[in-house]
Amino acid sequence: MSKSSTPEDYLAALRSSAWFAGLAADFQRWIVAHAKVRSLAAGQRLFAYGDPADGLYFVVAGAIRMTSSSADGKEALLAFAETPQWFGEVALFDALPRAHDAWIETDVVLLHIGQQDAVRFLDENPVHWKAVGLLMAPKLRLAFEAIGSSVLMPVPVRLARRLLAIAGGYGERHGLSKRVINVQQEQLGLMLSVSRQTVNQILRDFEAQGLVQRTRGSVEILDLASLRRFAEVG
């Protein structure tokens, strides 16, 4: 989708979001009326750790890289946000500063709803706060699963689960999954706190089993059902 996309394109992208599709009609209309389009080029930073909360974002096109950095400059890759994913909802509840950095991985088109506008609407229509909680809940569940997996699960299972999570848009693709994941092996290693070489070897094993195919800068899932079974058995 280009920067010249039409309102109909934005609405189609919104409707592909499982969360948006499940909202009450008045909340949907309010989002469509109040969301502002932002187009940003790769390499820019959307917000930094410690920045004031500035509202809710929806990815129409492109990818956002979420990272955390240590005092000595070491970076941890937390996640990618791609269409049709939302992010920024935690701050709607606590209004605290951003807890990570958000970098533009590829040129992006975003829909942005300002913090004050969103909180004002939700306070005036408190029945919709639950819907925002439901947007946050799957991410919280995935975070707990990731913590448990890092201790209890072998790395191949953790990698399989991460690939599935990315493919499913962290629950935002109506239960569907895309097959080609635009993520590099080094980035997967950063997500799992393992080396790129470890990721490469596991993907080789997955490839030998017919589960995935490695391509330059991406991983294609060939057998989604078998990859899911492998992740569940682990």
Per residue in 138-160, pLDDT (tens digit) is 888 877 777 776 667 899 999 99
Asked if 7 and 43 sit in the same domain, the reply is yes
Compute the half-sphere exposure of residue 110: CA atoms within 13 Å on the CB side of its CA: 28
Compute the half-sphere exposure of residue 140: CA atoms within 13 Å on the CB side of its CA: 8
Give a yes or no: residue 73 inside a domain: yes
What span, in angstroms and rounded, lies between the C-alpha atoms of 64 and 44?
10
Between 103 and 6, the more confident residue is 103
Residue 194 CA from chain centroid, whole number: 20
Q: Which of 138, 166, 199 is the last residue of a domain?
A: 138
**CA dist list (Å): 131 to 23, 95, 134, 142, 170:** 7, 17, 5, 18, 17
Between 4 and 147, the more confident residue is 147
Q: Which pLDDT does position 86 carry in this prediction?
A: 96
Q: Which pLDDT does position 47 carry in this prediction?
A: 96
Q: Which of 74, 103, 138 is the last residue of a domain?
A: 138
Give a yes or no: residue 147 inside a domain: no
**What residues does 212 pair with on adjacent strands?**
221
Give a yes or no: residue 146 inside a domain: no
Asked if 131 and 64 sit in the same domain, the reply is yes
Instruction: State how many domains the chain has.
Output: 2
Asked if 169 and 216 sit in the same domain, the reply is yes
Q: Which pLDDT does position 42 carry in this prediction?
A: 95
The predicted-structure confidence for 189-216, as pLDDT tens digits, reads as follows 888 888 999 999 999 999 999 999 998 8
* Contact indicator for 111, 37 with CB cutoff of 8 Å: yes
Q: Which pLDDT does position 114 carry in this prediction?
A: 97
**The CATH number of the domain where 52 resides is what?**
2.60.120.10
Asked if 79 and 120 sit in the same domain, the reply is yes
Q: Above 50 in pLDDT, residue 2? A: no
Asked if 179 and 108 sit in the same domain, the reply is no
Q: Which pLDDT does position 1 carry in this prediction?
A: 37
Q: Which of 138, 162, 179 is the last residue of a domain?
A: 138
CA angle 103, 109, 111 (to 5 degrees): 100
What span, in angstroms and rounded, lies between the C-alpha atoms of 82 and 102?
12
Q: Which pLDDT does position 69 carry in this prediction?
A: 80
CA angle 171, 175, 179 (to 5 degrees): 90
Give a yes or no: residue 70 inside a domain: yes
Residue 227 CA from chain centroid, whole number: 20
Give a yes or no: residue 144 inside a domain: no
Q: Which pLDDT does position 216 carry in this prediction?
A: 86
**The CATH number of the domain where 205 resides is what?**
1.10.10.10
Give a yes or no: residue 13 inside a domain: yes
Residue 177, token pair as written in the block: 């999954």
Q: Which pLDDT does position 169 carry in this prediction?
A: 74
Encode 4-38 in three state secondary structure.
Answer: CCCHHHHHHHHHCCHHHHCCCHHHHHHHHHHCEEE
What is the mean predicted confidence (pLDDT) over 173-183?
Answer: 70
Asked if 182 and 123 sit in the same domain, the reply is no
Spatial neighbors of 59 by CB under 8 A, at least 6 apart, are 81, 82, 83, 84, 85, 86, 87, 108, 109, 110
Asked if 134 and 157 sit in the same domain, the reply is no
Asked if 54 and 94 sit in the same domain, the reply is yes
Q: Is 225 exposed, middle or buried (0-12, 13-18, 19+ CB in 10 A)?
A: exposed
CA angle 168, 227, 214 (to 5 degrees): 85
Give a yes or no: residue 55 inside a domain: yes
State the greatest distance between any 2 C-alpha atoms of the chain, in Å, as a whole number: 56
Give a yes or no: residue 148 inside a domain: no
Strand order in the sheet with 75-82: 45-47, 101-104, 63-69, 75-82
Whether cis (ω within 30° of 0) applies to the bond prior to 138 is no
Asked if 132 and 180 sit in the same domain, the reply is no
Supply the range of the domain harboring residue 228: 153-233
Asked if 158 and 98 sit in the same domain, the reply is no
Asked if 182 and 78 sit in the same domain, the reply is no
Q: Which pLDDT does position 3 carry in this prediction?
A: 46
Asked if 132 and 171 sit in the same domain, the reply is no
Mean pLDDT over each residue of the chain, to the nearest integer = 88
The predicted-structure confidence for 44-70, as pLDDT tens digits, reads as follows 999 999 999 999 999 999 999 999 887
